[in-house]
Amino acid sequence: MPVSPATRGALQLDRRTVAVILLGVALMAAALAVLARRAPAGVIPAGQKPARQMRVEVLASYPHDRRAFTQGLLYHDGVLYESTGLEGESTLRRVDVTTGRVLQSVALPPNLFAEGLALAPEGLVQVTWQNDTGFVYDAATLAPRRQFKYSGDGWGLCFDGASLAMTDGSDTLAFRAPDTFAVQRTVRVTMDGTPLRSINELECANGSVYANVWHRTFIVRIDPATGLVLERIEAGGLLTASEADGADVLNGIAHDPSDGTFYITGKRWPKLFKVRFVPAGA
């Protein structure tokens, strides 16, 4: 059917109007997408609870070797195992809990910087900071069993019964096969909607991953499936002013499954503390 000039002009105007509207909608959608990506840190996603505020309750304190630059800590069958760092000072130790006496110590090569420590079916597994080298030891004798290679920083380490959870100083937990050390999966850690970086020494206990955060006075309890921090456990002020003189950061978490308590300490700390984690207001 023929279209008159007036009708043709009206149709063209309608098409231009529709085009302008569609362009506006597209620009608005793009702007909203950018704003979503730039959502301020600390905004907790809908349906997600903030981390529960907890604190440590000190049950006892024991002597700890002040020379130990504690990197990894674990408790097994009444004995404390400790990995100490720094080049030329790195060791793996068996320690008497109540006296702090070093029962046995194995030195690493002087060019290596020891880090996290975990007990897996193969034995004690120890990683190094930037040396891409790990070790497996016999738990009873500390005799070396084997050495292995991996890529990237090694910070904290713990065994959850199936995998070795490992940190590299970022906001990521990597879960590795205990026999091959191959990465099985990773999860990003967030606390109250914000990525939590500098995750350090780890302890796997009760289906959760407990972690120190480098240069912070709190410990976090992480859901290993989602990476969400479920609890923020304040552990500041444990040392007196004289004890804190020369001490470095809080670092070292070991779980005692016999009574559910934890042992915590720090780098160059003169004390080891036996604690419970309790609600902040308790």
CA torsion through residues 148, 154, 158, 163, sign: negative
Q: What percent of the chain has pLDDT over 90?
A: 82
What is the DSSP code string of 166-220?
EE-SSSEEEEE-TTT--EEEEEE-EETTEE---EEEEEEETTEEEEEETT-SEEE
The one-letter amino acid code at 205 reads A
| 52-279: CATH number | 2.120.10.30
Write the CB contacts of 274 (distance below 8 Å, at least 6 apart in sequence).
Answer: 58, 59, 60, 61, 62, 256, 261, 262, 263
> Given this model, what pLDDT does residue 49 score?
85
Q: What region does 29 belong to: left with phi over 0, alpha with psi -120 to 50, or beta?
A: alpha
Instruction: Please say if the pLDDT value at position 187 is more than 90.
Output: yes
Could you read off the pLDDT of 201-260 as tens digits, one per residue?
A: 999 999 999 999 999 999 999 999 999 999 999 999 999 999 999 999 999 999 999 999
Residue-wise pLDDT tens digits, 107-144: 999 999 999 999 999 999 999 999 999 999 999 999 99
Burial of 183 (0-12, 13-18, 19+ CB in 10 A): middle
Sorted by where each begins, the domain ranges of the chain are 1-39, 52-279
**Least confident interval from 8-17, 19-28, 123-132, 150-159:** 8-17
Query: What is the predicted pLDDT for the residue at 46?
Result: 61
pTM here is 0.84
Q: Which amino acid is at 143?
A: A
Eight-state DSSP code of residue 228: B
Per-residue pLDDT at 3 exceeds 70? no
Helix (H, G, I), strand (E, B) or coil at 18: helix
